[in-house]
Amino acid sequence: MDTHSSINKTQAQARVNQIRAFQAELQLLSEQGILQLDDNASQQIQRYHQAVLQQLQQSQDIDLNAQASHLSLGMQIVSFLGAVALAASLFFLFYQYWGYFDTPLQVGILISAPLLSLALVSWLQRVDRTGYYAKLAALVSFAAWVLNIVMLGSIFNLPASPNAFAVFALYAFILAYTLRARLLLAAGMLCCYLFIGARFGSWMGNYWVSTGEYPEHFLLTSLLFFLLPLKFKQQRYEGFAALYQILAAVVFFIAVLILANWGSVSYLPWSHGVIEGLYQVLGFVCSALLVLYGIRQQAAKLMLTGNVFFALFLYTKFFDWWWHWLPKYLFFFLLGLTAILALLIFNRLRLVVQTAAKPDEVANV
């Protein structure tokens, strides 16, 4: 029997789905009289598959059927909502009774809260095979860490600094890679955006609090995050590579979309019309390249992200060109024709991809 200790949960779930699809197809072929296996061969295949499924479930805690998969999705949603609720509860608990404590007790509570929650995360990680409870506690621990930094700064009247976001990001990344928690990875990335953007704004002569007023602060960080999975592979961490690239692409295109419509918030020393035109072209080109990259890498979510933002750039231009002088029925009629044209183009690409696919690739789909 092949071992499955080196594969991640996504690969294990794909293996389970492959086995279930094989069993369903084998049963269909048997019912139609196309393929008939003797009892010995059928039992050997069934025992092999049962052993593989049992090993995968024990090592990766994957879902063996559609009902279990639906329940897992529900558990993920519930654990997220529970983490948000507990973090909010911790936040309001601090503010409700904070004034009743003297300074030494306040400092002690702030220091002990993230340490105790981190100890809880460590204990749950050992006893909870599913990982849901450990990830929930990790989100609460991250909230306690943020409160710790913010409240200590308030107690000792320390000046506000963007360096706090670097500390938040470091703790989020540590928890994310320890528990393979994508939500904490996203939190760490957002903190990095704020830290790097604030530092860049300070270098440009602006107060760091106004970093969000200049979208160009986030362009370089988005590029770095997008390229990071290409340099440092993330096979051991399920969904991390996709999250890096998708979140980086979303932040990048939102920044470019803002600059394409409001050139006044750019650092570039040109007229607003030239700046907006430059970023409009950049948005079209980069979103189209992202679609092609998603097709090449077979990354459906990246391709969808490129499609969405290409449509947003296209429709905002349509609005600028035609909204004020075309009748509304004609404006929306043109939008509908554009959608039909996009369908024709994507269908053509789909046929090209299917034609170019090798027979073994088609069989694996």
Comparing C-alpha atoms, which of 221, 184, 91, 83 is closest to residue 144?
Answer: 91
How many CA within 13 A on the CB side of residue 160? 6
Report which DSSP code applies to 3.
-
Please say whether the beta carbons of 222 and 253 come within 8 A.
no
Q: What is the residue whose two structure tokens read 């996709």?
A: 242
- Crossing angle of helices 182-203/132-155, nearest 10°? 30
pTM score of the predicted model? 0.81
Please say whether the beta carbons of 305 and 249 come within 8 A.
yes
pLDDT at 222: 97
Q: How far from 314 is each of 251, 287, 289, 292, CA to CA, in Å?
A: 18, 11, 15, 17
pLDDT at 2: 47
**110/112 Cα distance (integer angstroms):** 6
Q: What is the residue whose two structure tokens read 């904490």?
A: 184
**255/267 Cα distance (integer angstroms):** 13
120 Cβ contact list (under 8 Å, min separation 6): 137, 141
pLDDT at 318: 85
Please say whether the beta carbons of 142 and 84 come within 8 A.
no
Q: How far from 124 is each of 82, 120, 127, 138, 289, CA to CA, in Å?
A: 16, 6, 5, 10, 43
> How confident is the prediction along the chain (365 residues), in pLDDT tens digits per residue?
445 555 666 677 778 778 888 888 888 888 888 887 877 888 888 888 888 877 877 766 666 666 666 666 677 777 777 777 877 787 787 777 777 788 888 888 888 888 898 999 999 888 877 778 888 889 889 988 998 898 888 888 888 899 999 999 999 999 999 998 999 999 999 999 999 999 998 888 888 888 888 999 999 999 999 999 998 888 788 889 999 999 999 999 999 999 999 999 999 999 999 999 999 999 999 999 999 999 888 888 999 999 999 989 988 888 887 888 888 888 888 888 888 887 888 778 777 766 765 544 444 44
Please say whether the beta carbons of 193 and 141 come within 8 A.
no
Comparing C-alpha atoms, which of 306, 331, 289, 212 is closest to residue 250?
Answer: 306
Q: b/e map of 312-343 (b: 16 or more CB within 10 Å)?
A: bbbeeebeeeeeeeeeeeebeeebeeeeeeee
**339/344 Cα distance (integer angstroms):** 9
**178/100 Cα distance (integer angstroms):** 36
Q: How many residues does the chain have?
A: 365
